[in-house]
Amino acid sequence: MTETETKTNQALGYWDSKAQFFASGERRQKTRRMSDLYESGCWRYIEPLLPPMESGTILEAGCGTGRWVYRLAPMGYDLELMDFSGEMIRHAEAQVNQQGLGERVSAYHVLDICNMNTLGDNAFDLVLALGMPLSLCSDPGQAVSEMFRITKPGGHVVCDTNNRFRRALDLARKNDMTRFFDVLNNGKTVGESGLHQSCFSPEELDTLFREQGFKPCKTAAITPFFEHPPAKEQVELLDDDEMFSRIDKAFQNVAEEPWVLGLTSRLLMVAQKPETGKH
């Protein structure tokens, strides 16, 4: 087995073992309104890209037990769900059906984002790869190339990743110098979960997408200034409605400021596949 295959199997085992936790709602209970804040930050970039409801197709890639499907399917959008963890997909399908949304989800795929070989070329108007599958997969360049292949010309991808220099700062603060040098020098780190992760600066993310033929449209900071994973005190702050709304507005106001892009934990990228293929 190659080193990449070993790492992928390790990651697969980890995510399979987390599926029950995701499905039970325990994760949401733990992060409380931090999930709402995260979703509010992303939604502002997703909403303008939604395809026509009658004809559009959306893929939620690295969906876990599903996040955006529970917002988009009730609105009337058709989706396909994909994750490399069979357990995540099994729970996603059960939950979608339980919520009476089964008719809106035409397919469930157990696939690695780096090799989505059963998905056709130019198939989707919108690919959502949120929750950082790009940082978590074995080959982000290959994953972006695959996303390019399956996106329709003129269609979009919205994804998020770890921010390289913010991660370096977090590790330096903890005096974790081995991981600090790794992320600073190579953009690679091993997370608290023991999983290998790729981290990108805003410029590196831009280059990653351009190299595969995409036109980057927007880079944004999602929940900047807050820790990722969130600190307990920050989660508690958000229980207050007024504070939630002030923080949400303040974050959105500065989400595209270059300096804020440099310090946020999570970077969001919106990219378009040009109408005429590679440019």
Site residues (CB under 6 A) for ligand SAM?
Answer: 11, 15, 62-64, 67, 83-85, 88, 112-114, 130-133, 136-137
Nearer to ligand SAM, 63 or 147 (CB): 63
Query: Cβ 98 to ligand SAM, closest distance in Å?
Result: 17
Looking at the Cβ atoms of 119 and 238, the one nearer to ligand SAM is: 119
Shorter beta-carbon distance to ligand SAM: residue 184 or 220: 220
Least distance to ligand SAM from the beta carbon of 113, Å?
Answer: 4
Residue number with CB closer to ligand SAM (63 or 79): 63
- Nearest-angstrom CA–CA distance, 223 and 40: 9
Query: Which amino acid would we find at residue 67?
Result: R
Angle at 190 between CA 189 and CA 196, to 5 degrees: 90
**Residue 88: CB minimum distance to ligand SAM, A:** 5
Question: Shortest approach of ligand SAM to residue 131 CB, angstroms?
Answer: 2
Output 146 or 184, the one with its CB closest to ligand SAM: 146
The CA distance from 89 to 208, in Å, is: 28
CB atoms within 10 A of CB 21: 13
| Number of residue whose CB is nearest ligand SAM | 131
CB atoms under 10 Å from CB of 90, counted, come to 17
CB of 148 to ligand SAM, least distance (A): 16
Tokens of 15: 């995510």
Structure tokens at 144: 């972006």
164-178 in b/e form (b: 16+ CB < 10 A) is bbbbbbbbeeeeeee
